[in-house]
Amino acid sequence: MDNNNVWRKDFPILDQKVNDEDLVYLDNAATTQKPKDVMSKVANFYYSDYANVHRGVHTLAERSTEQFEAAREKVRKFINANSDKEVIFTKGATNSLNLVAQSYGEENIHEGDEIVISYMEHHSNLIPWQQLALRKKATLKYIELTDDGQLDMDDAQRKITDKTKIVSIAQSSNVLGVINPVKELAQIAHSHDAVMVVDGAQSVPNMPVDVTDLDCDFFAFSGHKMMAETGIGVLYGKQELLEQMPPVEFGGEMIEFVKKFDSSWNELPWKFEAGTPNIAGAISLGYAIDYLESVGLDNIQKNTQAIVDHVLPKLLDIDDLEVYGPKDPANHTGVISFNLKGLHPHDLATGLDMEGVAVRAGHHCAQPLMEYLGLSATARASFYLYNTISDADRLVEAIKATKEFFKNGTV
């Protein structure tokens, strides 16, 4: 299924050469490229409608506010939240998760309580809970992984207890290429009166997400991983929880009344949106959602799965290449991490770049996972809607060429 050139043409950045080779962009788990339709609409907003939101009564302010809040409604529908009061604009998934830790966590975690995460968490969904546990003298517990890198649900049942107050898990791993059963985890958490937090940074761009069906209490994701601008993200939270939570940033817009020695707070969602927001970023997120819906998330999944079905067996057949996560393509997302024996991942990534293939190398903001796997780093290729089977074949050939290059000692 190599028919996604119909989408590829929408991404002009891909039409270039790198090191005299046609670019193959496989760093989508870090950030996605932007379609020209989204970029042109954001530019038009700056050309025609830009003004600060909410506080003005002049025409440009009204236009800007209308587009900003329309983007919020698009997000609400996209993730099937019950109310736009449950959609908080943030700087990104990291900011969203920190907001939950610093507001809900600060109010509800006490000495002796437990917070449960997994070994596969991105630092954004690890350090906020780690630091909260340290501040509150709570216990941070890690769910183990199976031999093929999936979440050990038997261990999850053991780790989540009546002492657990927060469970926070990524819906999709940015390293191992697995999708976690967060709906089942939410049921386990709720049976112990704990709240369920989901890091959706890797899942929202790639698969349909219904926060009502998942019954998660909080859900975080970033715009730049789903073809919007950087610096914009979303925190979904159940309204009854957000109503109880105190704001963590103070200033303009988030207030109702300010007196000399006391203040009261605005209603949701603005209680958590202090200061001038990333207006164009939010609007770009709305346009990115429009684009994703025009493509269809089911089509994105089908395209990515076709690529994984094709490329994963080929990667597994390369001598001395270790691939991490599930070996069955049916259980693997478009994120594939690997190492070539005897070669540092950064050298491997540099070699692939010389072949025009852009991948990421490092610990992928998952150092506890690397330690768990006995690694310092991996290379990582990640596929998205504009990638093709031809791109996948280029990756395989580039790995083989890099292997041969270093094997022959021609460095």
As a whole number of angstroms, the distance between CA 124 and CA 368 comes to 12
DSSP per residue, 100-127: HIIIIIHHH--TT-EEEEETT--GGGTH
Q: Apex CA 365: angle with CA 359 and CA 367, to 5°?
A: 115
Provide CB contacts within 8 A for 9, sequence distance 6+. Answer: none
Say what the pLDDT of residue 264 is.
93
Say what the pLDDT of residue 117 is.
98
As a whole number of angstroms, the distance between CA 398 and CA 100 comes to 42
Active site residues: 365
As a whole number of angstroms, the distance between CA 346 and CA 289 comes to 34
CB 352 within 8 A of CB 339: no
Say what the pLDDT of residue 409 is.
61
Give the other-Cβ count within 10 Å of 59's Cβ. 10
Q: Which two tokens stand for residue 44?
A: 């038009």
pLDDT tens-digit map of 67-101: 999 999 999 999 999 999 999 999 999 999 999 99
Position 68: which residue type? F
CATH number for the segment(s) 5-30+296-407: 3.90.1150.10
As a whole number of angstroms, the distance between CA 140 and CA 123 comes to 14
User: Do the bridges between strand 321-324 and strand 360-362 make them parallel or antiparallel, or are there none, so unpaired?
Assistant: unpaired
Question: ω into residue 269 within 30 of 0, thus cis?
Answer: yes
Say what the pLDDT of residue 2 is.
52
Residue spans of the domains in the chain: they are 5-30+296-407, 39-293
Enumerate the H helices of 101-193 as residue ranges.
106-108, 127-136, 153-159, 182-191
Give the chain's residues under pLDDT 50.
1, 3-4, 411
DSSP per residue, 236-290: EE-HHHHHHSPPSS-SSSSEEEE-SS-EEEPPTTGGG--SS--HHHHHHHHHHHH
Which contiguous run of DSSP H or E holds residue 140? strand 139-143
Position 344: which residue type? H
As a whole number of angstroms, the distance between CA 105 and CA 61 comes to 36
Say what the pLDDT of residue 1 is.
40
**Can you give the pTM of this predicted structure?**
0.96
Q: Which two tokens stand for residue 107?
A: 């109010």
Say what the pLDDT of residue 262 is.
95
DSSP per residue, 166-184: EEEEESB-SSS--B--HHH
Tokens 């994703």 -> residue: 292
Phi, psi dihedrals of residue 169, rounded to the nearest 5°: -140, 145
CATH number for the segment(s) 39-293: 3.40.640.10
For 160, counting Cβ atoms within 10 Å of its Cβ (0-12 exposed, 13-18 middle, 19+ buried), the class is buried
The crossing angle, in degrees rounded to 10, of helices 127-136 and 93-100 is 20
Which contiguous run of DSSP H or E holds residue 44? helix 36-48
Q: Which two tokens stand for residue 376?
A: 């310092």
Provide CB contacts within 8 A for 36, sequence distance 6+. Answer: 10, 11, 12
As a whole number of angstroms, the distance between CA 160 and CA 189 comes to 7
As a whole number of angstroms, the distance between CA 183 and CA 202 comes to 16
Tokens 């003005």 -> residue: 56
